[in-house]
Amino acid sequence: MTTMTQPRLTRPALPAPCGPLSGAVVAALRREAPPEPVEESAAAADPYGRDLQLALYVLYELHYQGFGGVDEEWEWDPRMLTLRRALQQRFLGALRTDAAPAADAGQTLAELLVEPAGFDDTGVSHHLQRDGELWQFREYAALRSLYHLKEADPHAWVIPRLHGRAKAAMVAVEYDEFGAGRADEIHAGLFAELMADLGLETAYGHYLDAAPSQALATVNLMSLFGLHRSLRGALVGHFASVEITSSPGSRRLAEALRRLGAGAAAQRFYDEHVEADAVHEQIVRHEVVGGLLEAEPGLDADVAFGVTATGFLEDRLARLLLSRWRRGESALLLPLPPG
């Protein structure tokens, strides 16, 4: 049973913690008390583990929709920001080691433009296009809802940090993402309609408890880059990576939904991205990235890092999804009810 509503009208409940880090964050927000000091635990934690990723997700979400019953003043509480800094330093440090770029921004972006010949055995969109089952697509949509129900919001943080060509182009792309002045065309709303078509719950943040760490990390990366001016180059690299790969991936996902007999609303979301993101890719590469690096050439390595970090985390998620699905197992921590 779905609740078809404006996904952002109500704030989600706090998730169930899964370890000492997320436990400290959730307990503090529930009790409205200072968090227990866990900085030493953060420094030793698995940077990609679910405990750290869930704790980070909750802390970042205070800057978006927040949580039901949680005072909005927690967004800028210095104790929460201190804890967040410790967690994200662990995450960012691991990414700088594991996803260090091997080339400059131009070459790194150029490699994204080369579609692999034949069947890409590591691609989730390829799998869903050719062999995926409806239950697998429903799981994919549930996980992606953690971003798509706030689509483009993390990238909007960078707008005040850009100027000139880069700023004008970034705003132009974001304008399209937010419906080009039409509330019924906002991409987050189109994704909610896709979810309803697939028999999924459309409430914002509903599937947080079901999300493995690999999915949380892909969303946390956007917030990490977006919320820090020092990482504006990485955010632009991430945005470029998303836009460059979106059109061909969306085409495959739209074809998967047609093959699976999904409704028109489900197909519409990805059909819209095939056309829109083909245009956005050109704008982002030439104007957003080009304009940023013309104004601030010293950010070249950061742009490249944004691309490689995005690919590294997306590959981790793809390996999880495909390995579970090919064994006939759910990739979610909690099973979906039948659609």
270 and 301 housed in the same domain: yes
Give the end of a domain, one of 67, 98, 129: 98
212 and 266 housed in the same domain: yes
Domain housing 49: 20-98
**3 falls within a domain:** no
127 and 69 housed in the same domain: no
pTM: 0.94
143 and 128 housed in the same domain: yes
Cα separation, 112 vs 122, whole angstroms: 15
Residue 118 has what pLDDT? 43
**333 falls within a domain:** no
Q: Which residue has the tokens 């019924």?
A: 184
Of 49-63, 251-265, 269-283, 295-309, the range with the lowest mean pLDDT is 269-283
In the chain, the amino acid numbered 259 is R
Give the end of a domain, one of 60, 83, 98: 98
The tally of CA atoms less than 13 A away on the side-chain side of residue 287 is 18
pLDDT tens by residue, 34-53: 777 787 888 899 999 999 99
**139 falls within a domain:** yes
77 and 222 housed in the same domain: no
**240 falls within a domain:** yes
Of 111-115, 151-155, 189-193, the range with the lowest mean pLDDT is 111-115
**25 falls within a domain:** yes
238 and 203 housed in the same domain: yes
Is 314 within 8 Å of 114 (Cβ atoms)?
Answer: no
**78 falls within a domain:** yes
Cα separation, 93 vs 98, whole angstroms: 9
Is 94 within 8 Å of 299 (Cβ atoms)?
Answer: no
205 and 94 housed in the same domain: no
Q: Show the tokens assigned to 132.
A: 């995926």
* Whole-number percent of the chain with pLDDT over 70: 95
Number of domains the chain contains = 2
Say yes or no to pLDDT of 336 above 90.
Answer: yes
Please name the residues in contact with 119: beta carbons below 8 A apart, sequence gap of 6 or more: 126, 130
65 and 194 housed in the same domain: no
CATH assignment at residue 189? 1.20.910.10
Cα separation, 168 vs 222, whole angstroms: 20
78 and 197 housed in the same domain: no
3-state secondary structure of 103: coil
125 phi and psi angles, rounded to 5 deg: -65, -35
Say yes or no to pLDDT of 6 above 90.
Answer: no
Cα separation, 94 vs 88, whole angstroms: 10
203 and 307 housed in the same domain: yes
Give the end of a domain, one of 72, 98, 124: 98
Q: Which residue has the tokens 């549930």?
A: 142
